[in-house]
Structure 1
Amino acid sequence: MKLTLYQIDAFTNHLFGGNPAAVIPLDQWISDSLMQRLAMENNLSETVFFVPAVGPDADYEIRWFTPESEVNLCGHATLASAFVLFHVMGYGYPAIRFQSKSGILTVTKNFDKISMDFPAWKPEPVTDWPAELVNGLGNITITSVHKHRDYLVEVADESMVQLCQPDFTILKRIGHKVILTAKGSKADFVSRFFAPSVGINEDPVTGSAHSQLIPYWAGKLGKKTMFARQLSKRGGELWCELGTDRVTIAGQCVFFMKGEIDL
C-alpha cells in the first residue's frame, strides 16, 4: 500500500515558521493502530488523516494523531488539510465541511487566508489547580488559572510568556495540556502551549487552544475581533473572531514537501 504525505507549515506566511503538520489523504480509513504508528514515525506534533464523507452533512471526515495519542481537535492540521485540498488536490468549492470528534468544522478559503469555524470553549476559573503548576512553568508568577479542555494560565505580561522555561517532567506529571497567555504588545494576546502528557513538549502554534483563548480574551478585552501571536521558536499568527457559540480562526499556510509512504 502506498500513501501520499504532504508536510505543510501552518499559521505562517514563510517556510520554517508556524506549525508543521503531516497530511495524509485516504480513500478509506486504515486501522487506528496504523495511523498511530504513522504519527509516531512522522514525529510531528500532529499527523492528520481525512477521507471522503459518506453522508450529506460533511465533505470529509478528519482525525488527528500526536506521536502518542489521538486528539479530539487540532487547528493547525485542519488548516493544513484544507490547504492541501484547496491548493494541491483541486477541491473546487469555497468551503469544506469536516466531520470530526468535535462535530462539523467548516473551513473557508478567504483570499490569502483560510478560516476555520471551531467550537468556542469558554474556560471557567479554577481555584484548586495543582501546586506543581508553578514549578512546572519555571516558578512563574501566575495571575489566574482557568480551564476547559486545558489549563489556561494567565501571567502579567508578554515577556513572562516569551521567557518561560517549563519543566516538562513536572508538566507531564500534572497530566493536562497547559496554555500560557498574556496580553500582547503587537497583538491583542500572546500564548504558548505545552502538552508533554500527549508527547508534545511545546506545540509551535495551536489552533485548538484558541477555542479557549478567544472567548477568554474577548471577555477581558471587550472585543470580538482580535489578532494573536504564539510565541514559540517558530512563531505563528492567528486572526480570531468570537461568535455566539463558535470561534473563527484564520491563518496562512506554506507548502514544504510531498512524499510517498510505502507500507
Structure 2
Amino acid sequence: MKKIQVYHVDAFTDQIFGGNAAGVVPEAMGLNEHDMQKIARELNLSETAFLFPSNDENYDYVVRYFTPSSEVDFCGHATIGLSWVMAMAYGWLEKAPQIRLKTNIGVVPVEWSMQQNKLNSVVMTQVAPKTKQFEVDKEEICRVVGINPRDIDDKYPIRLAYTGNWHLLIPVKDSKAIDASVPILEELKDLNLKWNITTTHLFSFNSFDERYKIYTRDFAPAVGIAEDPVTGAANGALAGYLVLENILDSKTDHEFTIAQGHATGRPGEVAIKIIAGKANPTIKVGGKAVISIHGTINL
C-alpha cells in the first residue's frame, strides 16, 4: 500500500472554509494519469494539483492539474494553494524567494510576499495575456447564462481572454445582476466545449463594496465544475483583457482587488497587479491561503 500525502487548501482567503478549496499532492512521484484522475475525483474539489520533482535548473517542479472529470492546463487557485503548502510545510520559504512551476502552458513563477517576517501572500506571474473576438447573439448568451439582456454592460465588449486557459468574459452592470444569474449548465457546457472555453466569467465594475474594483462569478461546466468560487486564472485573463481592450491605460501600472465567491458562501479576494510593457503587460495574481486539511490517501 502506498501512502500519498494530500492537502486541502482554501485559496484567496485567510479564513478557513472561505475562498476556493484546492487539493494539493506535493509528492506525486510514481502516479500516472489514471491515479491522478481518481484522486481528484475522490477529493471532489474543483481542482487538485500534483507536483513532480524537476531535474531542470529552469524550474523547481512540474505541476499537473485535474478536476474531478478531466485534466486542465492551468489553475490559478490551485497554484496559490500548492505554493502556500510548499512555503509553509516544505521549507521553500527559507530556500528561495520564489518557486518556479512548469505547467502545461509554460513556467509560472510564484513569489513570496512577506509582512513582518511572515508570509502574507503568494503572487504568481501568469503567461502573456491574449484576447480574441467572440461572435455570439447577445440575447442567446444571456438566456444560457441566465441574466437579463438589459443587465449586459455595453460599455465593454464580450470577449474571449487567455492567460493559460480561454475564458468567456461577460460584462454586467452591477453585482446584484451577477448574483441573480442562474445559468442553464448543460447548454453552457455545450457552448464552452464548442469554443474550447474553460470557464464563463461574469464581471462588473459596480461592486457591492468600495474596497473592490471588480466583482465576478465563474461557471465551468465544461470541465465538470458548476461554479468555481474564486478563480485565479479567469481573473488573470480578465486583467489582461482590461489592458488589451483599452479599458485600462496600457502605458500605466495598475493594482486592485477583485471580489468573488460571495454568491457561493465562500468569499475571497484576488489581488491583481498589471505591469505595463511594450509588447504585452505582465499580469500578477496574488492571494492568501489557509491549509484546512492534511492527511494521506492509501493507494
Task: Give TM class, smaller chain.
Answer: over 0.9
Q: Match for 2:255 among 218, 225, 229?
A: 225
The Cα of 1:7 is off from its aligned counterpart by 0.5
The Cα of 1:139 is off from its aligned counterpart by 3.7
Aligned to 1:206: 231
Query: Which piece of structure 1 moves more, 82-91 or 212-221?
Result: 212-221
User: Could you say if the C-alpha distance between residues 101 and 204 of structure 1 is closer, same or farther in structure 2, counting changes exceeding 3 Å?
Assistant: same
8 Å CA contact 1:72, 1:101 repeated in 2:
yes
Aligned to 1:107: 110
Could you tell me which amino acid in structure 1 is paired with residue 269 of structure 2? E
User: Could you say if the C-alpha distance between residues 139 and 63 of structure 1 is closer, same or farther in structure 2, counting changes exceeding 3 Å?
Assistant: same
- For structure 1, the 5+ residue unaligned runs are none
Aligned to 1:152: 169
Could you tell me which amino acid in structure 2 is paired with residue 116 of structure 1? M
Match of 2:111, SS state, is: strand
Sequence identity percentage: 32
CA distance in 2, matches of 1:45, 1:145: 25
Cα distance per residue 1:39-81 (max 9 Å; x no partner): 1111100011001111111011111000111111101101111
Could you tell me which amino acid in structure 2 is paired with residue 173 of structure 1? D
User: Could you say if the C-alpha distance between residues 129 and 101 of structure 1 is closer, same or farther in structure 2, counting changes exceeding 3 Å?
Assistant: farther
8 Å CA contact 1:120, 1:212 repeated in 2:
no
CA distance in 2, matches of 1:140, 1:123: 25
User: Could you say if the C-alpha distance between residues 147 and 129 of structure 1 is closer, same or farther in structure 2, counting changes exceeding 3 Å?
Assistant: farther
Could you tell me which amino acid in structure 2 is paired with residue 183 of structure 1? F
What is the aligned-residue RMSD (CA, Å)?
A: 1.7
Could you tell me which amino acid in structure 1 is paired with residue 178 of structure 2? V
8 Å CA contact 1:7, 1:257 repeated in 2:
yes
Q: Match for 2:220 among 188, 195, 201?
A: 195
2:205 aligned with 1:183, yes or no? yes
8 Å CA contact 1:123, 1:152 repeated in 2:
no
Could you tell me which amino acid in structure 2 is paired with residue 63 of structure 1? R
User: Could you say if the C-alpha distance between residues 188 and 52 of structure 1 is closer, same or farther in structure 2, counting changes exceeding 3 Å?
Assistant: same
Aligned to 1:54: 55
CA distance in 2, matches of 1:64, 1:27: 12
Q: Which aligned pairs between 1:9-88 and structure 2 lie closer than 5 A?
A: 9-26=10-27, 28-88=29-89
2:126 aligned with 1:125, yes or no? no
Query: Which piece of structure 1 moves more, 36-45 or 159-168?
Result: 159-168
